[in-house]
Amino acid sequence: MTEERVPYEVFTTPVGEFVYPRLTQPDTRYDPDGVYQLKLLLPFEDNETQELIAKIDGVLSAFIQTLDLKVQNMYRRSEVYEKEMTEDGLTETGNVLFKMKMKAKVTHAKGSFEQAPVVVMADTGEKVEGLVYGGSFGKVKGQIVPYTMAANKLVGVTLRLKAVQIHELQSGTSDSKAFWTEF
């Protein structure tokens, strides 16, 4: 009898600001196979942000309950988000950053496949082909994927990026040169 694979829990974020997005071209700096990624900046006190945190924490707590008691007691819980700090690193800004990623190439025992997130404009549904720069705003849809990491004795979740809906696009254009030459 084959084991039925349970799908991962799906999440959709509220509209937030993209920080260091790599959405249309994978980042190959630390992984030669490439990783699509971004950090999403959201206001911590916002109700939608709190609902997202609660959903992710719920999935993590349920996953922890499925683990052996020894693992539950030995492993530390990895946080789902990080609080944004001011440049001096001394004060919280009231915002949180959620890191999301997707491998561009996945290799497993039966072979490999390539994937990329779906990136569309919110108002038209048109696919975005060009680079998406930090400062863009949008929503992210993905999967909450639980994990354990024996080497670091951690248990947590990864937010697997699947689709992005851009509400306000920042991208490089020839107009950017004009910005730097006008004082």
Of residues 35 and 180, more confidently modeled: 35
C-alpha 104/C-alpha 46 separation (Å) is 32
Q: Which pLDDT score is estimated for 4?
A: 47
Encoded tokens for 41: 């900046």
Domain boundaries, the chain: 9-174
Per-residue pLDDT at 1 exceeds 50: no
- Sort strands 9-12 and 16-27 into parallel, antiparallel or unpaired: unpaired
In whole angstroms, give the CA distance from residue 159 to residue 30.
19
Average pLDDT (71-89) is 88
pLDDT at 116: 93
pLDDT tens sequence across 119-173: 999 999 999 988 999 999 999 999 999 999 988 899 999 999 999 999 999 876 5
Fold of 9-174: OB fold (Dihydrolipoamide Acetyltransferase, E2P) (2.40.50)
- Nearest alpha carbon to residue 8 among 55, 59, 42: 59
